[in-house]
Amino acid sequence: MTASFDLWKLTKTALFYLLVVVIVVVSVFPFYYAILTSFKSGTDLFRITYWPTSFSLQNYESVLRVGSFPRNLLNSVFIASVTVLLALFLAVTASFALSRVRFRGRSLLLMTILAVSMFPQIAVLAGLFEVIRFLGIYNTPWALIFSYTIFTLPFTVWVLTTFMRELPIEIEEAAIVDGATPWVIITRVFMPLMWPALVTTGLLAFIGAWNEFLFALTFTSSNDTRTVPVAIALLSGGSQYEIPWGAIMAASVIVTVPLVILVLIFQRKIVSGLTAGGVKG
């Protein structure tokens, strides 16, 4: 173990951790700044500080007390969760068909699904509004759950199709011989194997639904049905032009924390080599 080697190795490790630190700082800094700002009030907001100078929970208090923010949080959790479950359910079954069953027009279908996600949301807004009113789900969570499939579904279908293709064929065949129907294969054999992909796409879809603003604004019309991003946009200062930065930052912190916790819970699933041991290797 020569000294020079150790040095080089040390430098490499140091550089690596430096990179990690840079990545973390860059990702977190704005959030940190948001937290910082959320503890400020009044003219303090316009002052640049790098460290907490004042500490007041007033913004949090006002966010949570005023209006229906807690209720909006619940709405968001419900809507995003159901959206993800629905999208994953539809996508898992569809991607099984798309990746595992040969039939004519398969790639055309994949293209069509992709095409759906090409249309600007702005442009479908009016038509979607009509559909939602026609279905009678206007101003209910279902309006959002329903409309969010437009961006969660193509994405999850595509990603899951890519992943499902990689699953070993032998396992499926073993299940077929065991008498498993496609449904059983999906639910009892493939799903447990696809944790990384499911969690990853689920998480991304969840965040997408969690953050969506335009549909949420358009398809709901009461405080009780709105979601968090709209609620944040509804946070307002004492007058028309005043932007309540402190409160907005406090609200953002509140809505971001659950996601961070979600990621921490699922992060082991995001990286898991479950296939090991099933097939040789």
Partner 1 sequence: AELSVVSGDTGNGLAFLQSQLDKFEEQTGHTVTVVPMPSSTTDQFGQYRLWLAAGNTDIDVYTTDVIWAPQLADQFLDLTEAAAGVVDQHFPSIIESQTVDGRLVAVPAFTDAPALFYRTDLLEKYNKEVPTTWVEMTATAQEIMDAERAAGNPDMWGFVFQGNAYEGLTCDALEWVKSYGGGQIVEADGTISINNEQAAKAIEMAASWIGTISPEGNLAYMEEESRGVWQLGNAVFHRNWPYAYSLGNGDDSPVKGKFDVAPLPAGEGPDARSAATLGGWNYAVSKYSQDPDAAIELALFLASPEVQKERAINQSNLPTIEALYEDADVLAASPFMANWKEIFQNAVPRPSAPTKTNYNEVSSLFWSAVHNTLSGNGSASENLELLEADLADLKGDAW
Partner 2 sequence: MATETMASPVVSAGAKIKSELMQQRVRAARWFLLPMLIALAIVAGWPLLRSIYFSFTDASLNNLYGAEWIGFGNYLRWSVLESGTVRYRGLLVDPAWWNAVWNTVRFAFWSVLWETVLGMIVALVLNAEFRGRGIVRAAILIPWAIPTIVSARMWGWMLNDQFGILNDLGLRLGLLSQKVAWTATAETAMTAVLVVDIWKTTPFMALLILAGLQMIPKDIYEAADIDGVHPVKQFFKITLPLVRPALMVAIIFRVLDALRIFDLIYVLTPNSAATKTMSVLARENLFDFDNFAYGSAQSTLLFLIIAAFTILYIWLGKVNFDGGDR
Partner 3 sequence: MASIELRNIRKSFGIVNVIKGVDLEIRKGEFMVFVGPSGCGKSTLLRLISGLEDITSGEMLFDGKVVNALAPSKRGIAMVFQSYALYPHMTVYENMAFGLTLEKGKDKEDIRKRVERAADMLQIRDYLDRLPKQLSGGQRQRVAIGRAITRDPKVFLFDEPLSNLDAALRVATRIEIAKLHEGMHETTMVYVTHDQVEAMTLADRICVLRDGLIEQVGTPMELYEKPDSIFVAGFIGSPKMNFIAGEKAANFDCSTLGIRGEHLQIKDDGIWEGTVIHTENLGADAYVYLEMGAEEPVVVRLEGAARYKSGEVLRVSPMQDKVHRFDEAGKPIR
Residues 159-188 that bind partner 3 (CB under 8 A): 168, 170-171, 173-180, 184, 188
Q: Copy the structure tokens of residue 208.
A: 């997408």
Q: Which does 207 bind (CB under 5 to 8 A by kind): partner 1, partner 3, partner 2, none?
A: partner 2
- Under the binding rule (CB under 8 A), the answer on residue 136 touching partner 1 is no
Q: Contact letters (x/-) for partner 1, 15-54, by CB under 8 A?
A: --------------------------xxxxxxx-------
Q: Which is nearer to partner 2, 31 or 56 (CB)?
A: 31
From candidates 19, 237, 260, 265, binder to partner 1 by CB under 8 A: 237
Distance of CA 192 to the CA centre of its chain: 20
From candidates 192, 214, 261, 267, binder to partner 3 by CB under 8 A: 192
Interatomic CA distance for residues 251 and 229, integer angstroms = 9
- Under the binding rule (CB under 8 A), the answer on residue 197 touching partner 3 is no
Q: Which does 1 bind (CB under 5 to 8 A by kind): partner 1, partner 2, partner 3, none?
A: partner 3
Q: Which is nearer to partner 2, 174 or 270 (CB)?
A: 270
Give min distance, CB of 122 to partner 2, in A. Answer: 5
Q: What are phi and psi of 279, to 5 degrees?
A: -110, 165
Residue 139, CA atoms < 13 Å, CB-side half-sphere:
4
Residues contacting partner 1: total by CB under 8 A: 32
The residues pairing with 276 across neighbouring beta strands, listed in sequence order, are 279
Q: Which is nearer to partner 1, 95 or 220 (CB)?
A: 220
Q: Hey, which residues between 77 and 116 contact partner 1 (CB under 8 A)?
A: none
- Under the binding rule (CB under 8 A), the answer on residue 246 touching partner 1 is no
Q: Quick check: helix, strand or coil at residue 56?
A: coil
Q: Copy the structure tokens of residue 155.
A: 């994405």
Give min distance, CB of 165 to partner 2, in A. Answer: 5
Give min distance, CB of 60 to partner 2, in A. Answer: 15
Q: Are 160 and 95 in contact (CB under 8 A)?
A: yes
Nearest by Cα to 94 from 171, 179, 186: 186
Q: Match 């930052």 to its residue by tokens.
A: 249
Helices 195-211 and 69-100, interaxial angle, to 10°?
140
Residues contacting partner 3: total by CB under 8 A: 27
Percentage helix, strand, coil for the chain under 3-state DSSP, each rounded to 5: 75, 0, 25
Dihedral (CA of 30, 264, 260, 44) sign:
negative
Interatomic CA distance for residues 269 and 267, integer angstroms = 5
Interatomic CA distance for residues 141 and 219, integer angstroms = 9
Q: Could you list the residues that contact partner 3 (CB under 8 A)?
A: 1-2, 5, 168, 170-171, 173-180, 184, 188-189, 192-193, 274-281
Q: Could you list the residues that contact partner 1 (CB under 8 A)?
A: 41-47, 66, 125-126, 129-130, 133, 138-139, 217-218, 221-223, 230, 233-234, 236-244
